[in-house]
Amino acid sequence: MYKLFFLILSFFLFIGVSYAQNDVLLKGKINNQTLGEISVNIINITQKTGTINTANGRFEISVIENDTLLFSSIPYKRLEIKIDKEIFDSGYLEVTLQDNVNELDAVNINNYRLSGNLSQDTKDIKTITAFSVGLPVSKKPPLTQAERRIYSATHSSSGLPVDYLINLISGRLKELKKIKENQDLSILVNKTIETFPIEFFAEHLKISEDLIYKFMYYAAEERNLKYVVETGNELDLIQYFEKIAEDFLQLQK
């Protein structure tokens, strides 16, 4: 009799523990009045799952206690929230994201006589562009300094490929292309770092702030990081960073 009672008690204790470890479907809402049709990526960094909000800001995502959620969208600053016991037990979460404001350069308008009537003043101030004065303007994006050097090294004023052959033999062209590759890599690394807050590297990947740039260059060498960044799939980036972070940290010892 006692043995049977013990077995039944053990069974219910097991069920209780299993139930406590199950995911819950966390429901929530993003309260920003400026949200409109903007989609916010809601990523469970711990479980590597994600979703986006509806038009009215609501979302649902599976979580367990101590998971970390990342809220990410271009118009807003990124926000990480740890699912503590209170949030987990309530099954509901409301967040308000901070606007990602970019400061613009100051404009000097001292040379204009303003009446104080905004509608009238905006009509009086003329905007002069290359198009407005009839100048021919290329629609191609301007070349970077490294690209201009490569162009100069591969084109001659006479139209003959003599300069190209000389530069190729001297190794200058190879050197210029290497400079451009380094510049492109630097731009890629900075763009990738801006995708995640410093806390993501320091707390989630255990990479100290002074090693973040070194880690990013390591990541760029290990895989075609440019393709992953351009696709905008943050979950792929998170999974890749988690995969190589341990190897990177071992190399630092």
What pTM value is reported for the model?
0.41
Helices (H), 101-222: 118-124, 145-154, 162-170, 172-193, 198-199, 212-222
Place of tokens 């940290």: 249
Question: Which long-range contacts does 13-18 make (Cβ < 8 Å, 24+ apart)?
Answer: none
What is the architecture, at CATH level 2, of domain 17-95?
Answer: Sandwich (2.60)
Cβ count near 28 (within 10 Å): 21
In the chain, at which residue ranges do the beta strands (DSSP E only) sit?
24-30, 41-44, 49-52, 58-63, 68-73, 76-82, 92-95
Walk along the chain (253 residues) and give the pLDDT tens digit of each residue. Answer: 445 444 454 554 544 444 445 789 999 999 988 887 788 889 898 888 888 888 888 999 999 999 999 998 888 888 999 999 999 999 999 999 998 876 555 555 455 455 555 555 555 555 555 555 555 555 566 666 556 655 554 554 445 454 555 555 455 556 556 565 666 667 777 777 777 888 888 888 898 888 888 888 888 776 667 766 777 677 888 888 888 888 888 888 7
Cβ count near 72 (within 10 Å): 19
In single-letter form, the type of residue at position 217 comes to: Y
- Domain range summary for the chain, segments of one domain joined by +: 17-95, 145-251
